[in-house]
């Protein structure tokens, strides 16, 4: 099993690396650190007799830097540079490498700050999420470094009771099969018309209890329900619960299909990513029973 961790040369892109390494170590995965080289952009300022010589010079410098960064984490793996094909997007290069490496996760940092706009992810991250057949671990602008010396790995998986939300379990299965990740299933329940808080809590608890059967055997699992009034912020309620249970990451299914609109992730997912101090693992929603 491999984790594909994407860098772009910016300091922010490094934010995801310690989080990806922490989860990779927990599940016994190796890390493939990668960066996409665009010949005419990344080698433009290098003075050499020809473009190919400039590209090779950039590749050598990047390879040295990435090898050193990976070695500093102590994680097993390697660093790989891929070149962007003409007329292809950067996201195409990333997802193609993920397929070639049989990656279980793609990890990257977001670039923007708008909680309800696709800018929170940036166009490359948006493209990766829309194309990726595997979960995408994303870190927002408020993410903090993992606490040193913290044992185990605790993942919160959210559900809103919809069929789309159930698709998260199939995507996460490779990570959970190892049996080294503790799970809390979380639902933020909003009382329906004529339903009081107690009834809403009971309904959501029953929904979550039924979902435990979708977890691999042997996974330590708990159920957490928070009830909020209609119109309350679901994203802030999720983050409050995540903080209370001490999660290392929160996973949720995407709700949408457009690569050009925030619906590719869903407004709640983007709101969580914009405010979270931990990574958000997005799993593309798909039809499930």
Residues 49 and 177 in one domain: no
Band (pLDDT 50/70/90 cuts) for residue 50 is confident
Q: Looking at per-residue confidence, does 188 or 270 come out higher? A: 188
Under a CB-based contact definition with an 8 Å cutoff, are residues 107 and 136 in contact? yes
Residues 133 and 158 in one domain: no
146 occurs within a structural domain = no
Domain end, chosen from 110, 139, 168, is at: 139
148 occurs within a structural domain = no
Write the pLDDT tens digit of every residue in 73-112.
Answer: 999 999 999 998 888 888 899 999 999 999 999 999 986 4
Domain end, chosen from 86, 115, 139, is at: 139
Residue 228, domain extent: 154-283
Residues 42 and 126 in one domain: yes
Residues in the chain, how many?
Answer: 289
Over 90: is that where the pLDDT of 43 sits?
Answer: no
pLDDT at residue 277, as a whole number: 95
Residues 168 and 132 in one domain: no
Residues 74 and 191 in one domain: no
Q: Cα 240–247–165 angle (5° rounding)?
A: 75
Specify the CATH number for the domain of residue 169: 3.40.50.620
159 occurs within a structural domain = yes
pLDDT at residue 216, as a whole number: 93
Residues 106 and 183 in one domain: no
Distance (Å, rounded) from C-alpha 133 to C-alpha 105? Answer: 9
Mean pLDDT value across the chain: 87
């Amino acid at each position: 099993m491999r984790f594909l961790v994407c860098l772009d040369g910016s300091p922010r892109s490094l934010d995801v690396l310690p989080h990806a390494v922490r989860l990779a170590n927990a599940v016994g995965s190796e890390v493939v650190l990668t960066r996409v080289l665009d010949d005419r952009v990344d080698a433009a300022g290098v003075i050499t007799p020809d473009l190919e010589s400039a590209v090779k010079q950039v590749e050598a410098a990047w390879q040295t830097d990435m090898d050193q960064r990976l070695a500093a984490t102590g994680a097993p793996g390697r660093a790989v540079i891929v070149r962007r094909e003409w007329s292809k997007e950067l996201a195409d290069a990333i997802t193609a490498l993920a397929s070639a490496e049989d990656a279980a996760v793609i990890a990257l940092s977001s670039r923007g700050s708008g909680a309800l706009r696709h800018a929170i992810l940036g166009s490359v991250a948006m493209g990766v999420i829309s194309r990726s057949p595997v979960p995408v671990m994303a870190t927002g602008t408020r993410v903090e470094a993992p606490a040193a010396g913290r044992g185990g790995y605790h993942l919160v998986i959210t559900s809103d009771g919809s069929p789309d939300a159930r698709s998260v379990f199939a995507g996460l299965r490779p990570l959970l099969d190892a049996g080294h990740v503790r799970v809390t299933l979380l639902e933020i329940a909003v009382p329906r018309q004529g339903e009081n808080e107690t009834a809403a809590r009971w309904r959501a608890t029953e929904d979550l209890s039924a979902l435990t059967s979708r977890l691999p055997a042997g996974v330590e699992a708990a159920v957490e329900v928070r009830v909020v009034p209609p119109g309350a912020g679901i994203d802030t309620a999720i983050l409050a619960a995540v903080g209370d249970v001490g999660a290392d990451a929160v996973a949720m299914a995407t709700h949408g299909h457009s690569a050009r609109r925030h619906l590719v992730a869903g407004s709640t997912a983007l709101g969580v990513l914009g405010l979270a101090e931990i990574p958000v693992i997005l799993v593309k929603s798909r039809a499930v029973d």
